[in-house]
Amino acid sequence: MPNLADIPKKIEALRRLSEKDVVYFEDLDKEFRQDLQNFIFGETLALRGGKPIVGRSLFRQWLQKIRTRGFDYEIDFKQ
């Protein structure tokens, strides 16, 4: 479980991913995958090389959701 200081770095990594044309689901840190899965539930995903991809538009919509409503993320406050 990551600690609170790691969140800004991970958010910046998401921003960099949003600049790509497609994002492989595996490109995301595992902490964000469940939130993205919940967001894209019911959407049609494509496969490239046998791996599910999230298009740029859908990924950016998810990032906008994070900016406005936040995301589910477990933090270890004991460290």
Residue 73 or 32, more confident? 32
CA distance 44 to 66: 21
Domain assignments of the chain as residue spans, ordered by start:
4-69
Q: What mean pLDDT is predicted for residues 1-7? A: 66
Q: What mean pLDDT is predicted for residues 3-14? A: 79
What rounded mean pLDDT belongs to the chain?
A: 81
> Rounded to the nearest 10 degrees, what angle do helices 7-17 and 56-69 cross at?
150
Model pTM score: 0.72
Compute φ and ψ for 41, nearest 5 degrees. -55, 125
Tokens of 56: 């740029």
Of 49, 8, 17, 21, the residue nearest 36 (C-alpha): 17
CA distance 25 to 29: 9
What are 40-72's pLDDT values in tens digits? Answer: 888 888 899 999 888 888 889 988 888 888 776
